Structure 1
Amino acid sequence: MPHTPTTTLAVESLLGRATKADIRRDPFPHVVLRDPLSPALYEALATTMPTAEYIGTRIGKPITSNERYNYMSEHILRDDDMPQVWKDFVTYHASPAFYREFLDLFRDDLIAALPDTENRCGPLRSLRVGRRNHDTFDTHDILMDCTAVINSAVTGRPSSYRGPHVDKPYKLFGGLFYMKRPDDDATGGHLELYKYRDGAHRFTTSPSEYGDNRFDIDPKYVEEVGTITYDSNVLVMYPINPLALHGVSVRSVTPHERRFVALVGDLQHPLFDLAL
């Protein structure tokens, strides 16, 4: 069970110190920010992050090897046992203020990759921002979330939670805030960045060894071009487009959990089609 810190810490934004100069554009626009949170705030979050067992018990999901356990903002905000530091953190990172920070950083890159964006969803700076599982598309245009995520311990054999894929086309952005434990000595679990190989490409249309939905791609159609190491207090964030291919490297057998926060912004309609 999370342990509530005895001190109150001011909210900090994961993008608070980000600038356009931080954007990397190979193989697609993204930022990698190291130590975006102060040591005090990061420690308060890291020492009280829910475990897979904690999340699984509350959402009714049994613990299996290298599975994903999501504790969404609505779960956290309704959980009396979660400390206030987490409630403040998820509230801000699913707010209009954080959405504006994302746009200030990435709007130009988003429009450059998907010129039809504002015809599909409306002017980005005018979108009504709500929170996923709290608000609806009846009254809001984008539903954001800030989710505590655990990939459970790896048992039996090394495995990757998910191979090469593109995030769903109705998502405006993706973010991963890594929170690796100091004692985690597992190998792998890093974020791998890919680009398409020349020639035809095929996304899966049914469950297979490559994934469970049509946004996963057979690895033979891509090549790895970069790796972002899974570590503590590291943010990776990017606008979503058909070229934003990524996956998770194979993680060794380990009793340790892989811990991160997922940041998303869902739109009602897709911004692109995977006609590849």
Structure 2
Amino acid sequence: MRSLLSGVTPADVRTDPFPHIVLSDVLDADTHRALTAGFPEFAQIGWANPRRKPGSNCRYQLSAWQIMNHPSLSRPWKDFVRRHSSPEWFAEVVALFRDHWPDDLKRALGGDLLGHEMGLALRDDFARARILMDARAEINTPVTGPPSSSRGAHLDTPNRLFTCLYYLRRPEDDTPGGDLELFRWKNGMVVSLDGFEVPADAVERVAVIPYSANRMVIFPQGLHALHGVGIRQTTPHTRQYVFISAEIAEPWLAAPTA
């Protein structure tokens, strides 16, 4: 299985409004087609309550460990999540953003992101591993109510090291919206990091990355890594993607003190 980062170098990093990489046509057409065709059905990914009709524009997920052990999911999917939740792939990410990891994160890990015991979310825990990886299939359900955003401007959980999104939009999905939006703090002022979203009046939108098939976005966690999902219009289509991340036990990200 080819890495999403194959051929990518630190020269590909964009720094506005925060360090990130956007790439199109990331995987070869056959692999992308196989992953799209084999994307877990709602009966597989919506395991939280499979007998209940899902709400409008709600998120569900299926972690790498569940995918690897699912009897009905395809070999390409098992190979993909195994590759992208491995210590080797984590090392690729670390090297790619070598000049952009926050000092607070490096201090939390003793000065170096590498050389730690690695594990897999759900299979392992932080008593066994310093860093847990995941590469999970995620969806936002069809928008059956008013147009909505699944999540506005926010920072990811303060124990996360990086976020990678790989989009598997289906060819028939013609829904406007659902793009990734990048924000910056207004006047550079970092407000409280508590809550599901940051106040809308504290940020300004800087860039929009369209939700397009075979596109990847990846960025380190940090105080300025503000992002959100644009409003999706009413649609029968499911928004589907892979979410890849790594986490440590403690919340290393904190708002600056005066």
How far has the Cα of 1:60 moved from its partner? 2.3
SS of 1:59's equivalent in the other structure is coil
Structure 1 CA distance for aligned equivalents of residues 7 and 25 of structure 2: 10
Q: Which runs of 5+ in 1 are unaligned?
A: 1-10, 206-213
> 1:156: which partner in 2?
145
Change (3 A) 1:201 1:242: closer
CA contact (8 A) 1:172 1:265 kept: yes
> 1:172: which partner in 2?
161
> 1:59: which partner in 2?
48
Change (3 A) 1:108 1:201: closer
AA in 2 matched with 1:222: V
Change (3 A) 1:174 1:199: closer
How far has the Cα of 1:215 moved from its partner? 4.8
CA contact (8 A) 1:203 1:216 kept: no
Structure 1 CA distance for aligned equivalents of residues 7 and 15 of structure 2: 19
Aligned Cα RMSD in Å?
1.6
CA contact (8 A) 2:191 2:255 kept: no
> 1:107: which partner in 2?
98
1:16 aligns with 2:6: yes
How far has the Cα of 1:127 moved from its partner? 1.9
Match of residue 43, structure 1, among 19, 33, 45: 33
245-254 or 196-205, which moves further after superposition? 196-205
Change (3 A) 1:79 1:153: same
> 1:6: which partner in 2?
none
Aligned ranges for residues 138-149 of structure 1 at < 5 Å? 138-149=127-138
How far has the Cα of 1:201 moved from its partner? 5.5
Aligned ranges for residues 145-224 of structure 1 at < 5 Å? 145-198=134-187, 202-203=191-192, 205=194, 214-224=195-205
> 1:267: which partner in 2?
248
CA contact (8 A) 1:137 1:268 kept: yes
97-106 or 195-204, which moves further after superposition? 195-204
How far has the Cα of 1:139 moved from its partner? 2.2
TM-score, normalised to structure 2, is 0.94
> 1:73: which partner in 2?
64
SS of 2:103's equivalent in the other structure is coil
SS of 1:158's equivalent in the other structure is coil
Change (3 A) 1:16 1:55: same
Match of residue 20, structure 2, among 17, 22, 30: 30
Aligned ranges for residues 220-231 of structure 1 at < 5 Å? 220-231=201-212
TM-score, normalised to structure 1, is 0.88
> 1:211: which partner in 2?
none
1:88 aligns with 2:76: no
How far has the Cα of 1:274 moved from its partner? 2.7
CA contact (8 A) 1:203 1:215 kept: no
> 1:120: which partner in 2?
108
How far has the Cα of 1:108 moved from its partner? 1.6
Match of residue 245, structure 1, among 226, 234, 251: 226
SS of 2:187's equivalent in the other structure is coil
Structure 1 CA distance for aligned equivalents of residues 82 and 203 of structure 2: 37
Equivalenced residue count is 254
AA in 2 matched with 1:259: Q
